Structure 1
Amino acid sequence: MIHPTDPEVRRPVAVRDGHGAPVTCATCGCRLHSGMADHDIAWFHFNPIAGRDARGCRVDCVDDAHDVAGYRAVSLALA
């Protein structure tokens, strides 16, 4: 028997129009994955290589942490 996923264990998602949605970069639209930065939850581009995102696009914020709205996070306020 497979047990349902505990809602406390799921990753946070952005809320848009009252529904959960993946966090995406406000600059280029890429989906971001969650991680830790400065003891806080942050979102990052998947597999950034040499200043490019996973699609190969050169984006200024590819190596920076993002907030839940998808913008480059100057300081994270979720702690």
Structure 2
Amino acid sequence: KIHDTISNKEEIRQLIQFLSNVDDSKSFALGIVVGRLYNAFYYQTKRILGREPTDIEFKEFLEFVKSRKPDLEDLW
């Protein structure tokens, strides 16, 4: 599901372009991508496991994002 979330690069580019008048920085764009990933993480946990993510799972998500930051920044 994470791959699905970030695979639609054109959609992400359009969202970033649309909001560029608010902030056109790279960190703003990364925030959009991380927000999409968090949304997928949270709702897939609820859908598949029937509960909210635990603190440990959330920390694992944060580590995943941290480890993939260079890849995520290169999406656009």
Say whether the fold is shared (TM-score over 0.5): no
| Shorter-chain TM band | under 0.3
Relative contact order (C-alpha < 8 Å, sep 6+): which is higher?
A: 2
Q: Which of these two proteins has the greater Rg computed from alpha carbons?
A: 1
Which structure carries more strand by proportion? Answer: 1
